[in-house]
Structure 1
Amino acid sequence: MPSNLPDPQTRAALIATAHAAADIARDITLQYFRTDRLATESKRADFDPVTQADKGAEAAMRALIHDMRPEDAILGEEAGFEAGTSGYTWVLDPVDGTRGFISGTPTWGVLIGLRDAAGPIYGIVDQPYIGERFEGGLGRATLAGPRGTQALETRQVSDLSEAFLFSTFPEVGTAQERAGFEAVSQRVKLTRFGMDCYAYALVAAGQVDLVIEAGLQSYDILAPIAVIEAAGGIVTDWQGNPAHDGGRVLACANKALHAQALAVLSTF
């Protein structure tokens, strides 16, 4: 992550904007979660669901950012890109894990990332139903939730044989990407699926050691990168390069595990 922080006044304004956006998205998504008001449509023929919660939360976050930080750019899953002049871009996923959302599982989240020209500098992963907010970057690495506020710190498990690996779908990307995932999965202690963005939050919280996925977009991963790296972890693509724009993603709790997983994945 970039080493130069904004000045204190700018930093405070950015953090305040992010939390205000997370608050409004939390309110809107909870109006629909596990209710009979929820209606679902598909973006594609193979069922890529979107709901009024996705659309309403992003629209509200955009309006708030326009009001509080009108000079900033915005990239969102539902409404695309709007240019800005400040050098900062907000990267929004109003409901990451819409399939989980419509199924009633509390593993979806609101993703709010902030990047500059070098990459992600701050992120929030918010789980409205549980009431957990994972925050990282701009000098922060905290989880605020039912147990109060605590520091985020990744685990220091140093060998794949003791590691916990998570992913969203058993069908990871292409057949080749699936093979790469399976090659790592065969080496770890535990593999679990179906967590969406919450798996990345658990890496930052020191509960999970690795997340491996493919086919991601920037809005899927930019906020989790900021949170995980602030907690001491590392996120790259499968070749060890920045994963800011999505694609194949490897998120690890520490450098030792990252090196071992990368040695496997980089051959696929």
Structure 2
Amino acid sequence: MRVTQADIDLAQRLADAAGAAIRPYFRKPHGEERKDDGSPVTLADRAAEAAMRRLLDAEAPGDGVVGEEYGEKPGVTGRRWVLDPIDGTHSFTAGRAVFGTLIALLVDDWPLLGVVDQPIQRERWVGVIGRGTTLNGAPVRTRGCPTLSGSILATTSPHYFAEVDGPRFLALVGATESGRMGPLYGGDCYNYGLLASGHLDLVCEAGLKLHDFAALVPVVEGAGGRMCDWRGDPLTADSAGDVLAIGDPARVDDVLEAMGTLA
């Protein structure tokens, strides 16, 4: 089953709906609360996901839906829409426009269509496996990286790495340009858009959930990069959540070797 233009158009409308729900709350009262796991949630998160679900109920009622805020609705088509209304709620509540809405379409648990939408700066990356990634309709590409030592690495926060993950991350830091200057911190999903556009070389994360990474796979790989777990395996609905985005696929083995996970 392939991704159709109708699917891409629907994903764009989902992003439009989410952005319209989010913008009135940005740098305004947003009703921040804490979920059971301690992570923040706002009125904007809930309004954006609700808006997207209403659209999917109307236009793709047989498809499954998985959302960060409202859980899973089973489907009957083998297709699932995976929604993260605000990836980077912490940045959103701080008034930083480096969060994003993530929308993915999975077919038989493989992410084939992804959208990363930054609704304040009006930047939208759309990726489809087998097609090129675009930013606001214009093609983008990752950049070449002749050596791992010259690469720029980003991650959302070092605090997300568990005790067992931290040494592997620090080993990667030491093997890159970031070993001298330090990695770029913050950015959440926005880092992956920057990588797809050729501004970053590597993103390394741990502990992500399906709604955090599903949309990123088509965006990065449609731009010529590689998304995988820390062992180099492709990301699917069953992946554990240790995630690498590598702009130049020629550096994959170098990254895994630096982290001590190369098979």
The question of whether the paired residues in 1 share the 8 Å contact of 2:149 and 2:177 is answered with: yes
- Aligned pair partner of 1:70 in 61, 64, 87: 61
State the partner residue of 2:112: 121
Residue ranges of structure 1 left out of the alignment (5+ in a row): none
Given residue 160 of structure 1, which amino acid in structure 2 is its aligned partner? Answer: L
Q: Does 1:31 align with 2:24?
A: yes
- Aligned pair partner of 2:82 in 85, 88, 91: 91
Q: C-alpha distance in 1, partners of 2:65/2:141?
A: 29
- Aligned pair partner of 1:132 in 119, 123, 129: 123
Q: C-alpha distance in 1, partners of 2:24/2:188?
A: 21
The question of whether the paired residues in 2 share the 8 Å contact of 1:17 and 1:69 is answered with: no
Normalised by the length of structure 2, the TM-score is 0.93
Q: C-alpha distance in 2, partners of 1:211/1:97?
A: 15
State the partner residue of 1:102: 93
Given residue 159 of structure 1, which amino acid in structure 2 is its aligned partner? Answer: T
Given residue 175 of structure 1, which amino acid in structure 2 is its aligned partner? Answer: E
Deviation at 1:259, TM superposition (A): 1.4
State the partner residue of 2:135: 143
State the partner residue of 2:253: 259
Is the partner of 2:41 in helix, strand or coil?
A: strand
Is the partner of 1:176 in helix, strand or coil?
A: coil
Q: Does 1:5 align with 2:2?
A: yes
CA deviations 1:118-177 (Å, max 9, x no partner) are: 511010000001110001005341001xxxx42110111121111010000022421221
Is the partner of 2:214 in helix, strand or coil?
A: helix
Q: C-alpha distance in 2, partners of 1:80/1:187?
A: 39
State the partner residue of 1:208: 200
CA deviations 1:66-121 (Å, max 9, x no partner) are: 11111111011011111111221100000000000000111100000111115110
Q: C-alpha distance in 1, partners of 2:109/2:17?
A: 28
Tell me: CA distance 1:246–1:207, structure 2 relative to 1, closer, same or farther (3 Å). Answer: farther
CA deviations 1:189-212 (Å, max 9, x no partner) are: 132001110001111111111000
The question of whether the paired residues in 2 share the 8 Å contact of 1:220 and 1:246 is answered with: no
State the partner residue of 2:188: 196
Runs of 4 or more, structure 1, over 4 Å off, are none
Q: Does 1:166 align with 2:144?
A: no
Normalised by the length of structure 1, the TM-score is 0.91
- Larger fraction in strand: 1
- Aligned pair partner of 1:60 in 39, 51, 65: 51
Given residue 217 of structure 1, which amino acid in structure 2 is its aligned partner? Answer: K
Residue ranges of structure 2 left out of the alignment (5+ in a row): none
